[in-house]
Chain A
Amino acid sequence: MNELSETLPQGAAPGRLARLARLWRLFARNRAALFGLAILAGVVALAAIAPVLYPESPFSLAGRPMSPPFGDWLFGTDTLGRDVMAGIAHGARTSLMIGLVATLVAVVFGTTMGALAGYYGGWIDDLLMRITEVFQTIPSFVFAILLVAIMSPSIQSIVIAIAVVSWPALARLVRGEFLSLRNREFVQANVLMGMPDWKIILVQILPNALSPIIVAGSLMVATAILIESGLSFLGLGDPNVMSWGFQVGAGRTVLRRAWWICTFPGFAILLTVLAINLVGEGLNDALNPRLREGKA
């Protein structure tokens, strides 16, 4: 060895657990993200124990209509005497479920479209991106209303509508990532090995594009919850499922006489969306640490 030799990495190779621990440390540096995670955990817990806390249907009559909050009922009752808190608990299930499922569908579809467009380029890219643009020309909320109205309101139609209006943004993001990654030399090395395209896309490039997809996906959950609330507020929700948007819509007419009917479900929406955004922001910091240092 002379003085110009490079030293090899020392110590044990870091395992999967150590890498997760490092990610958690980066995430936990962001206090607001921890706060968001706590709220989100609360909402998830509420959704999980809703059937235990309120075994009766949230649509069933609980008592005198428009009872004020913090009396017999924690958040009072609505115009028909339904327990607002029971509605919030069951609505949490609806909101989270729709948010997650719709986002999942949008992420899978958007990633597929973006990956194909970005990897192959040429006429495939042109075709897929023109299709994407068609979807982007229609304002997303109006489009969602239209879709639900056509398909008749139900959980499935709401999920489909939200996914249909959400995937184009993701497709564009993924396309951009793939465009830059497919020209990296490691991808060219894989081509030289004779590796099939699907394997290069799924095994080689996709893991490198995952961080921005996770961040965008987590923020998309928040948007999905907002769209769902908006739809049920307008009466386009599934009539058999309790949801926060429906509660706000139902209490809207009596806002001045019974403020609590709108207010508490509204807060639930606000807190949940805020929490998800904070968590998304924290994920962004943890997964793209360089950007964070640039800001500091």
Chain B
Amino acid sequence: MSAPLIDIRGLHVSLPPGSDRPYAVENLSMTLAPGEIVCVVGESGSGKSLTARAMMGLLPEPRVRASKGQILFAGQDLLTLTRAERRRLCGEQLSMVFQEPMTALNPLMTVGRQIEEVLIVHSDLGPAERRERILALLAEVQLPDPPRIMASFPHQLSGGQRQRAMIAMALIMDPKVLVADEPTTALDVTTQAQILRLIRELQDRHGTGVMFITHDFGVVAEIADRIVVMQHGRVIETGEADQILNRPEAPYTRALIRAIPSLTPRPRARAEARGLMKVDGLTKTYRMGGWPAKTREVHAVRDVDFTLRRGETLGIVGESGSGKSTVARMLVRLIQPDAGVIDLDGIDLAGLSKAALKPYRRRVQMVFQDPYASLNPRRRVGDIIAEGPVTQGAPHAKAQARARELLGLVGLKPDMAERYPHEFSGGQRQRIGLARALAMDPEVLVADEPVSALDVSVQAQVLELLAEIRERLGLSIVFITHDLRVAAQVCDTIAVMSKGEIVEHGPVADVFADPQHAYTRELLASIPGREWQIPELAEAASA
């Protein structure tokens, strides 16, 4: 192997006094060779992003700073450079792609102007040459119609196009090192697959060394040459991609990989044939504008039909904007459908007035996505769970006792009822949200992306809990997700949504094995790391 481009030696990033640990990154050493993609993987709080920021000089100093160690680039220690020296390197030799392209681009400047800025600072090209160079690069990142993209503002582009523009901007000076901090996390899975392919191609052609920060082992399997696994600011394991993915040694890495949901659907006992909830012709159209402008119609959901059987988990999968969340919210009547029938045991929920609906509210409950916004920060956990039954007329003491019982059921302790939500972690909050829904004794549980905000290890535990509770209480679940791996593990049947319509619907195993619709095929082909067979790892000896 050639001499490393970047050589990080014993890097410490210190946190302000009073934090839960003294160092965000502790004694980190790693190297990056030319033409190599090193993935830094870890869960939230592992220090992976701060490592990238330390390299680029983007730490929120002086509160958080690199206190010890070296980051050597071409023999120079990046940490000891003056601001001016660092400025020259950044953009020219080192550059970075951020997670959220919408906030990383200036909304008031055209894309072309922003890329040109880099050239103006770092080169002495004339305006015509600059334009030529930008157009060539925009074509290289496979953006359609480069002159038009150049003249566009960021909000006029799609998420994937914005991220391509960001990559073009990062590559315009042909840097030796590219740092990519979760560059595909905010993107849909099909767009993510394209961007990953693009990064691979460009890196191959230019021989760039890429440091790729991610939390997603699927993405890692897709792109990494070498892998650095981090936890709580320390490096747990380093090695070639093949070795870490298939023969991990550290117990933490093994536990992490074990937590990744497999793409092979879990075989399930067949659900009862009796239908519980029949949805027919569900439609929601949003009208915008109006006089004097022309009214614009957006068909959020168009003519959706499905049947949920007793004890069944129905997955609704799709990308952002497919209308899956709108369907979920219509099922619980947070959104009033424009047309269609939601038949629950012979009662059409869609047609009921607000007052008439009240006694039926109990029967369909929801688990929300955001563990931070879904619990009222000013109320105790016990009150949050007991509120529902009390509203429905249960005596206060009885509801409180039931709340404690439910806390036990979802794997927390009954005495946690006295605490406030902020004392709990994300996964624990989702458990509380589940207990709140269960307190109403629902027959149908609508879960809207209940695990997508959680780290993979926590996600596995919450999914396990959900499956267990479903068995125990005989619940029927509508499970909304964008993650096909999760869908494969949780659902009995799935409905694939695209542009407001269900394009394919069937048992999970059938849909995964033999997708009929072109969109389903594309979706399945885009799952990161689909070729990687997750190894069967035994529980670590220490566990």
Contacts and interface: CB of A to CB of B under 8 A. Distances in A.
Contact of B376 (A9, A186, A192, A196): A186
Given A2-B543, A185-B368, A193 B374 contact: no
Nearest to B374: A185
Interface in B379-393: 379, 384, 387-388, 391-392
Contacts of B334: 188, 191-192
Given A192-B332, A193-B387, A4 B457 contact: yes
Contacts of A194: 357-359, 361-362, 391-392
A17 interface: no
Contacts, number: 91
A4 B332 contact: no
Contacts of A186: 373-376, 384
A193 B427 contact: no
B378 interface: yes
A4 B255 contact: yes
Contact of A6 (B365, B437, B458, B542): B458
Nearest to B250: A3
A160 B4 CA distance: 76
Interface stretch (B84-92, B297-305, B411-419): B411-419
B387 A190 contact: yes
Contacts of B361: 192-194
Nearest to A6: B425
Contacts of B457: 4
Nearest to B436: A189
Contacts of A199: 391
B369 interface: yes
Given A186-B373, A189-B436, A9 B251 contact: no
Interface string A190-231: 111111100100001001100000000000000000000000
B378 A6 contact: no
A95 B362 CA distance: 53
Nearest to A208: B378
Interface in A1-31: 1-6, 8-9, 13
A288 to B, nearest CB: 13
Contact of A3 (B255, B368, B379): B255
A159 to B, nearest CB: 31
Of listed A5, A185, A190, residue having the most chain B CB within 10 A: A185
**Range of interface residues on chain A?**
20 to 34
Given A189-B366, A195-B387, A6 B416 contact: no
A9 B423 contact: yes
Interface string A130-148: 0000000000000000000
Contacts of B437: 189
B46 to A, nearest CB: 13
Nearest to B360: A194
Secondary structure type dominating chain A contacts: loop
B259 interface: yes
A204 B543 CA distance: 42
A188 B391 contact: no
Contacts of A5: 461
A194 B362 CA distance: 8
B370 interface: yes
Nearest to A19: B420
A216 B16 CA distance: 32
Contacts of A185: 368-370, 373-374
B388 A6 contact: no
Nearest to B329: A188
Contact of A193 (B391, B423, B460): B391
A195 B415 CA distance: 26
Nearest to B422: A9
A292 interface: no
A2 B370 contact: no
B424 A192 contact: no
B256 A13 contact: no
A64 interface: no
Contacts of A208: 376-378
A232 B286 CA distance: 55
A3 B416 contact: no
A9 B416 CA distance: 8
B271 interface: no
A3 B237 CA distance: 15
Contacts of A190: 387
B374 A4 contact: no
A10 B528 CA distance: 38
B252 interface: yes
Interface string B333-372: 0100000000000000000000001110110111011100
B382 to A, nearest CB: 10
B363 to A, nearest CB: 11
A2 B540 contact: yes
A43 B376 CA distance: 39
Given A4-B259, A186-B374, A186-B376, A193 B440 contact: yes
Nearest to B393: A194
Interface string B406-444: 000000110110110001110110000100110010000
Contacts of A195: 387, 391
A286 B251 CA distance: 43
Given A192-B366, A194-B358, A194-B392, A3 B412 contact: no
A192 B425 CA distance: 24
B458 A4 contact: yes
B427 A6 contact: yes
Interface in A52-91: none
8 contacts: A6-B427, A8-B424, A9-B423, A13-B415, A186-B384, A192-B361, A192-B388, A195-B387
A-B complex: 8 closest residue pairs judged by Cβ atoms: A4-B457, A185-B374, A193-B388, A185-B368, A13-B418, A9-B423, A194-B361, A2-B543
